[in-house]
Structure 1
């Protein structure tokens, strides 16, 4: 019978906390997303949306914490995708249905299902392409389509406008349904959107950007819905710029490739 090797003194079986911490943050994001549904059922719309926003903040830091602690794992990647589907696909869909689209005759539920399904398909495509080396958009610093957290934020744009103005026109399903269809399409589309690596500032703008970030954080405390409405509008405005920027990059790459081919021939 083969004997087990003795465990060195001072060493314990198990996994380190650095491997648990990123997954714990992801689980918190999932729970915040589900809590948003709870507040939506109660008709507490501000807390419902705030829960999804907190889930988005946690989703933004879990991957960075994993890389910082060297705690990346396949399990964490799968958990992150499942959390994103619930927090940014299912939960916003149910909240928007309870808030507005249940008044839409016959097709209100189909519209919110489109959002949840688009989020799931986007994440499935992302997971399928994790090990693919040939990804021109990613190599150039662009994303393919709108990320799931940003898609949830865009879907909530009518809610932000309703919070700020109090006007029932923003709650009308005739406005909410087409907007949700557009945001669902953007998540599963091949539209190139600007990634963090692509966003660059001139060195002389650094202090201005830091100051603007600080003021925006203060605005979130004083006037959260105006701040989120403004941020969402800015992001929506950047989508066409992302498309044009990627078109310039592809033209530049094509021109460089053609020039190199011409030089080889000559």
Structure 2
């Protein structure tokens, strides 16, 4: 009889979801290369959803492991650091007069994402580094980084022809990357809570948001990005008001 240890199938579920997320990120790059911009964006958004799901599944099934954490970190680097940058470059800069500038911007984006995830790995290993402080993230998390970086493509899909602003786009993408490695406190939805009396309103709001994403996806994503950027000063003030130090 074999003496090798057996692994329960439920332990594999979160890692399988993470692998699907990697496949979604890779497919988004392929779609952008083939000129299917909307499909490439949908696959990145799918990767964002799967990234949120795998962590929830690991905690729900009590199957969190160092292997799963490392796989998730590698998936986040590709899906939110590399794939969005390649989609941006292939869609907005490839073959144009500002291709080198666009490539510089996406390089900065990828490097900043890698540095943030390296800090995250250190924080999970109990090192003297932290990316979470009592309901706040330190800097912009990787999924939000990807969504913010894709804002120029969201605007383009919505109908704003911004071909005249390649330099401004590059500056914006670099700025978003720097937000990821900054120490600016940002709200953490994972730790948000509401009163029980407000639960029906929260459910209705969630339904409205889903319907808007299905009906007006680009306008909804643009509005979400703008609201997130507008929330940064408030999160900073809220953090300071709670007598925390950065």
TM-score between the two structures when normalised by the length of structure 1:
0.84
Partner of 1:62 in structure 2?
A: 54
Where does 1:25-104 land on structure 2 (aligned, <5 Å)?
25-102=17-94, 103=96, 104=98
In terms of Rg, which structure is larger? Answer: 1
Measured in 2, the distance between the counterparts of 1:137 and 1:121 equals 12
Q: 1:113 to 1:136 in 2, by over 3 A?
A: closer
Structure 1, residues 30-78: CA drift from partner, whole Å, max 9, x if none? 1100111001101111011110000000000101100111111000000
Partner of 2:115 in structure 1?
A: 121
Gaps in structure 1 of 5+ consecutive residues: 254-266
Moved over 4 A (4+): 133-137
1:109 equivalent among 103, 111, 115 = 103
Structure 1, residues 92-149: CA drift from partner, whole Å, max 9, x if none? 0111111123331533211110001111110001001113377777342110110111
Range 236-245 or range 12-21, more displaced: 12-21
Pairwise CA RMSD of aligned residues?
2.2
Q: 1:171 to 1:193 in 2, by over 3 A?
A: farther
Where does 1:198-209 land on structure 2 (aligned, <5 Å)?
198-209=191-202
Partner of 2:227 in structure 1?
A: 234
**2:18 and 2:71 in contact (8 A); partners too:** yes
Measured in 2, the distance between the counterparts of 1:233 and 1:88 equals 19
The SS at the match of 2:162 is helix
**1:170 and 1:176 in contact (8 A); partners too:** no
Q: 1:83 to 1:197 in 2, by over 3 A?
A: closer
Q: How many equivalent residue pairs?
A: 243
Measured in 2, the distance between the counterparts of 1:91 and 1:118 equals 14
1:150 equivalent among 127, 144, 153 = 144
TM-score between the two structures when normalised by the length of structure 2:
0.91
Where does 1:6-17 land on structure 2 (aligned, <5 Å)?
13-17=5-9
The SS at the match of 1:71 is coil
Structure 1, residues 216-246: CA drift from partner, whole Å, max 9, x if none? 1112222222222222222221122111111
